[in-house]
Amino acid sequence: MSSSSSRATSRMQSRARVDMPVFVCPRCRAGVDRRVSQTPRNQNRTFYVCSENGVTCFFLWVDALAKTLMNELQEEHEEWLRMLPRTAVATPRAPEEEMDGEARTDRELAIELRMLKNKVRKLEDQALTIPICKYFWAFVGMVIALVVMLKMYGKA
Q: Are residues 132 and 71 in the same domain?
A: yes
Domain end position, chosen among 35, 61, 87: 61
Domain count, the chain: 2
**How far, CA to CA in Å, does 27 sit from each of 13, 32, 55, 85, 135?**
21, 11, 12, 43, 23
Task: State the pLDDT confidence band at 4, using cuts at 50, 70 and 90.
Answer: very low
Find the distance separating the first CA and the last CA of the chain, reported in whole Å.
61
Task: State the pLDDT confidence band at 5, using cuts at 50, 70 and 90.
Answer: very low
Q: Are residues 50 and 75 in the same domain?
A: no
Domain end position, chosen among 11, 43, 61: 61
What distance in Å separates the CA atoms of residue 32 and residue 87, rounded to the nearest whole number? 42
Question: What is the bridge-based pairing of β-strands 54-61 and 46-50?
Answer: antiparallel
8 Å CB contact between 58 and 50: yes
Q: What is the pTM of this model?
A: 0.37
Q: Are residues 79 and 150 in the same domain?
A: yes
pLDDT of residue 40: 92
8 Å CB contact between 155 and 115: no
Taking only the tens place, the pLDDT of each residue in 87-138 is 444 444 444 444 555 555 777 777 788 888 888 777 766 655 555 565 677 7
